[in-house]
Structure 1
């Protein structure tokens, strides 16, 4: 229960921070362009992360080099989230401090805090760049790939172990045993799990949809667009349409935790959380219609 609640709190923190940052980035013109242009850097970034992780596990690549590249990428993602509130310079200083902490103090609490900011920054950037319909396509494709990578090729297990070995904040780690040792922990080892884990991507994709709907719902005040629940009330700057993917993804996360509790091991999380986010988004749109 402690692990499930902890992961749920971190998951929600990513969603809320991305939702707050994305409209600010959109207003400042920080995006990957219009239409579906942002799908290209999204795919390239995920492919690079996969290649780096597998290079360590399967080909013995330099752990220090790979860890450095991953932390630099994480620093850039943090900057997107932090600059939305602190400005470009303040955000850069805070992101550098967070990256340095992740490098020097690889404890679960520090890694989780840095991961929340970094994942939210990535979700905010893509949420500000992509309309909800494009994000929905990305969620469907990512869920299918995640299922294949876990249950088909199995290389997602190698990536998870690489993340644990590199001690990079690419997953959320909530210890469930007082004797949890982050230095020797592995993901696929036998025995009772010492921690509840959630991949960063499992939080990234649903937060992208929530952030995208949040940005689009503000635009909806002036220009209608499809699949945004314009008939729902406005709270502050946002339509309650954002509750669709946000609550739906939380329901999906709860279903994932229940499934993992029944069947121990590593499982594909995106089919659950992405499916919940998409269902919530469509239900919100249908409610408005």
Structure 2
């Protein structure tokens, strides 16, 4: 697809690269939600979690802090890119393992996660890195969703949205982190090309001023998916989970709980609002206030309604 319509190219709304980019990001965002939704009950059912209640808030905050420090160390202090890239790739592999082991088992999941990490490192194509990022982000969301009660997960979303707004509009260090991610070429964001020949995550516009790619930070997909997964585990709704975890008692059957739709649909509405805002205003904006706000509103409407 190209940034301008051709005789055989996209027509109508799809000729607009902004529309194609928004739709592509939406598909990846939804894929994270659905994979986390399927994996979290399986992890909880097999006892893979950071504990009960709010115990997982500590490793969640520590993980985000370490990621921030590593990214800023590269941009502001010239830290070894090879070392930081290695740490981030190991973290990515671990996150993938949580998602893949839920379906393949620990050994096969580890092999698949290692293969995905190797691909992300050696194949610099957006499609490959997006696929690896979907699995990794979903794995992190599933793990924390299996560990946190919905109230604690909701609290984490509120704090993360506030931090994101400050980091973008206040200190500005979120922009440095985005630059570090592009420089390290580690799939810590989703990149949907909207211009032919796009192959550089650091380039967001073409030489003619057209959008070259639509970007979405991994955290913008992780946090709302975490709440969705947490609600699924708390309501004991499951997809392909052994029967002892499911209310029906039947093997590989789960009861559908409408509560799961609250944060899922709400976050999609928030993502649509974010894309509309970005395309009208331009520039870089904090995504978590939109997607987390939508997820929280949807969760509250279903929970209190």
With normalisation by structure 2, the TM-score equals 0.86
CA-CA distance at 1:263 after TM superposition: 1.1
3-state SS in 1 of match to 2:215: strand
8 Å contact from structure 2 (residues 237, 256) kept in 1: no
8 Å contact from structure 2 (residues 126, 199) kept in 1: no
1:93 is matched with which residue: 111, 116, 120? 111
Aligned position for 1:38 = 56
Structure 2 residue 131 is the aligned partner of structure 1 residue 113: yes
Aligned position for 1:126 = 144
- Number of matched residues? 272
Bigger CA radius of gyration: 2
Structure 2 residue 26 is the aligned partner of structure 1 residue 12: no
> 1: CA distance between counterparts of 2:102 and 2:255?
16
Structure 2 residue 40 is the aligned partner of structure 1 residue 22: yes
Aligned position for 2:277 = 259
CA-CA distance at 1:245 after TM superposition: 0.3
1:215-262, Cα deviation, whole Å (9 max, x unpaired): 011179xxxxxxxxxxxxxx9333121000000000000000000010
> 1: CA distance between counterparts of 2:60 and 2:212?
32
Structure 2 residue 49 is the aligned partner of structure 1 residue 49: no
With normalisation by structure 1, the TM-score equals 0.91
Superposed structure 1 runs of 4+ greater than 2 Å apart: 185-193, 235-238
CA-CA distance at 1:264 after TM superposition: 1.2
8 Å contact from structure 2 (residues 206, 212) kept in 1: no
1:105-149, Cα deviation, whole Å (9 max, x unpaired): 021001100000000000000000000000000000000000000
Structure 2 residue 20 is the aligned partner of structure 1 residue 2: yes
> 1: CA distance between counterparts of 2:66 and 2:76?
15
Unaligned ranges ≥5, structure 1: 221-234
Unaligned ranges ≥5, structure 2: 1-18, 239-252
8 Å contact from structure 1 (residues 164, 187) kept in 2: no
Matches of residues 75-94 of structure 1 in structure 2 within 5 Å? 75-94=93-112
> 2: CA distance between counterparts of 1:72 and 1:63?
14
1:154 is matched with which residue: 152, 167, 172? 172
3-state SS in 2 of match to 1:218: coil
1:169 is matched with which residue: 187, 191, 194? 187
Aligned position for 1:283 = 301
1:48-106, Cα deviation, whole Å (9 max, x unpaired): 00011001101111111111110100000000000000000010000000000011102
Structure 2 residue 185 is the aligned partner of structure 1 residue 182: no
> 2: CA distance between counterparts of 1:238 and 1:103?
38
> 1: CA distance between counterparts of 2:87 and 2:204?
22
